[in-house]
Amino acid sequence: MISWPTPFIPRIGEGAYSSGINMWSSEFERLIPTGSMERADLYVCGITPYDATHMGHAATYVAFDLLQRVWLDAGYPVRYVQNVTDIDDPLLVRAAERGVSWEFIAESETQLFREDMTALRVIPPMAYIGAVESIPLVVEAVVKLLASGAAYWVDQDVYFNVASDPEFGGRSHLAESAQLKIFGERGGDPERVGKRAPLDCLLWRGKREGEPFWESSLGAGRPGWHIECSAIALHYLGQSIDVQGGGSDLLFPHHDMGASEAFALTGKRYAQNFMHAGMIGLDGEKMSKSKGNLVFVSTLRQSGVDPNAIRLALIESHYRSNRDWSADLLARADHRLQEWKSSLAHSRGTSAHETIAAIRSALSDDLDTPRALDAVDQWARKQHGEGDVGGPGLMSRALDTLLGIAI
C-alpha cells in the first residue's frame, strides 16, 4: 500500500561518528562501529488500524525515525519496512461496534495515520505493507513450516511449534509462567485444546462463520499475527536485518514468536538487534484502546497544536523510558519550541558546529534525546546573551535533519 510523503531533509554534511553508533546497549550489548555495515535494514511493527494515532504510537514511530536520521546522517543507506495489521480481531470488534465494515475502519484509520506521520515529519518506510496484501507471502511461509514439521494442523487451523526453535524465548527471557500469562493477554490461546504446547501460536485461522476469509492452498481462512511480520520482513528485507523495532509491549510474545518463526523458515537468526520503545501512559496507566485513555495526534493537530511541539514533547525523555503524556509536557515542549524559534531569529553569531557535534554524540548514544535537547537549549540561551556565537541558518537546518524539528 502507499505510505506517506518523505519530508525534505536538509543537508548539513555527513555526521562524524568517531566513537561508533551504540543503539543497543539496553538489549543486545552490541556496539557497531562506523563502517561495519554496508547498509542498515530496519523493520518496525506498524499499527493495527482501528484507533490511530495515539501518543504512544507517535512516540514509538518518532523514536525509530530518529534512528533512521542518525543512520542517514552517518552515511548508511537505510532500507526500512513497516507493516499495517489491516485484518485482525480488534478490527472486526470495532467494525461491529460502529456498524461499519472492517475495510472502512482499516482504510480510514490507516489514512489518518499517514496524515499524522506526515505532520510529525516521520520519514516513511520504503515498503509499507498491509497484512491483507501479504496473505500470499504468509501462505507460502506456512506451507513451508508445515512441510518442515515446524507447524501442524489443529482442526482447520495451523499452529507454529515453538519447540522447533531451541532459542525460543531468548529475547524476552521470561519465565514460562510469565510467558503463558502474557501470551493469553496479548492475543494468544494457551488453553486451546489439541495444541502440542500451550505457547504454540496461530499461523493460519481457518474460515469461521461471519468472519472475513481468503481462499488459499491452506483452505479458506486468514493469517495469524506474528507470521505476518516474519513473512513481510523476510520477503522485503532478506534473511537477516539489523534492527527489528516496536513498542516494549511487543517483546513478548510478538517478537519472540516472530523470531522463532523466521529461524524455522531460514535456519538463521533473523534480527541482529531488537529495539523497544517505552510505553506512553496517561495518569499512570498505559495508553491503549482497551483502557479508553487515548490522546490522539489528529485531535491535537485539529486544535491548532504545532506538530513540532508534539514531536519535542515525545522526545523530551529517553525513548526507552515508560512515561506519561500530559498537558504540562506539551506546554513545556511548546515553550521550548518558542525559545528555539526566538533564538534562531535573534541569533547573531556564526558557529553552530559544537552544538551539532553534541547533538550527534547524544543521538549516537542509544538516542539520548534529553542530552541532545539540552545541547540545543544551551545554544539557544547563548543567542540572547553577550558574545560571538550563533549560526542560525546551519542550526535551523541541523534541528530539522537530526531531530525532525522544522523551524
Torsion of CA 214, 215, 219, 225, to 10 degrees: -30
Which residue among 12, 21, 59, 375 contacts ligand 5CA (CB under 6 A)? 59
Query: Segment 26-65, which members bind Zn ion (CB under 5 A)?
Result: 45
Contact 131, 221 (CB under 8 A): no
Where in 219-248 is the site for Zn ion (CB under 5 A)? Answer: 229
Signed CA dihedral, 333, 290, 131, 141: sign only: positive
Which CB sits closer to ligand 5CA, 246 or 253?
246
Q: Is 201 in the site for ligand 5CA (CB under 6 A)?
A: no
**What letters, b where the CB count within 10 A reaches 16 and e where it falls short, cover 331-354?**
eebbebbebbeebbeebeeeebee
Amino acid at 282: L
DSSP state of 321: S
Among 45, 67, 359, 362, binds ligand 5CA (CB under 6 A): 45
Distance, CA of 108 to CA of 52 (rounded, Å): 10
- Residues numbered 345 to 404 that lie near ligand 5CA (CB under 6 A) are none
The three grid cell numbers given for residue 360, joined into one nine-digit string: 550527534
Q: How far apart are CA 28 and CA 25, in angstroms?
A: 6
Q: Which residues is 214 bridged to in the sheet? A: 221
Closer of 128 and 340 to ligand 5CA (Cβ): 128
At its nearest, how many Å lie between ligand 5CA and the CB of residue 316?
Answer: 15
The residue from 41, 116, 249, 261 that contacts ligand 5CA (CB under 6 A) is: 249
How large is the C-alpha radius of gyration of the chain? 22
Q: Which of 162, 275, 280, 376 binds ligand 5CA (CB under 6 A)?
A: 280
Q: Which is nearer to Zn ion, 260 or 355 (CB)?
A: 260
**CA 367/CA 357 separation, integer angstroms:** 14
Using alpha carbons, select from 368, 364, 403, 371 the residue that is nearest to residue 21.
364
Closest CB to ligand 5CA among 67 and 279? 279
Helix (H), strand (E) at residue 81: strand 78-84
- 307 contacts 120 by C-beta, under 8 angstroms: yes
By CB under 5 A, the count of residues binding Zn ion is: 2
Among 158, 218, 233, 277, binds ligand 5CA (CB under 6 A): 277
Q: Which of 246, 253, 392, 404 binds ligand 5CA (CB under 6 A)?
A: 246
Q: Is the peptide bond before 7 cis (omega within 30 degrees of 0)?
A: no
Residue 107 CB, nearest approach to Zn ion (Å): 20
Site string for ligand 5CA, 136-175 (x = CB under 6 A): ----------------------------------------
Rounded Cα distance, 363 and 155, in Å: 50
Q: Minimal distance in Å, beta carbon 254 to Zn ion?
A: 6
The residue number whose beta carbon is nearest to Zn ion equals: 45
Q: Report residue 231: phi and psi, to 5°.
A: -65, -40
Establish how many alpha carbons lie within 13 A of residue 35's alpha carbon, considering only the half-sphere containing its beta carbon. Answer: 4
> Which is closer to Zn ion, CB of 169 or CB of 246?
246
Shortest Cβ 110–ligand 5CA spacing (Å): 11
- 210 to 229: interface string for ligand 5CA, x by CB under 6 A: -------------------x
Contact positions with ligand 5CA (CB under 6 A) in 68-87: 83, 85
- Interface segment toward ligand 5CA; rule CB under 6 A; list 54-62, 311-319, 327-335, 345-353: 54-62
Sheet strand arrangement including 127-130: 127-130, 78-84, 40-44, 241-247, 271-277
Strands (E), 344-389: none
Q: Give least dist CB 230 to Zn ion, A.
A: 9
Side-by-side strand order, sheet with 285-286: 285-286, 280-282, 323-325
Smallest gap, in angstroms, from Cβ of residue 36 to ligand 5CA? 27
By beta-carbon proximity to Zn ion, the closer residue of 45 and 372 is 45
> For binding to ligand 5CA (CB under 6 A), which residues are involved?
45-48, 56-57, 59-60, 83, 85, 229, 246-247, 249-250, 277, 279-280, 286-288
> For binding to Zn ion (CB under 5 A), which residues are involved?
45, 229
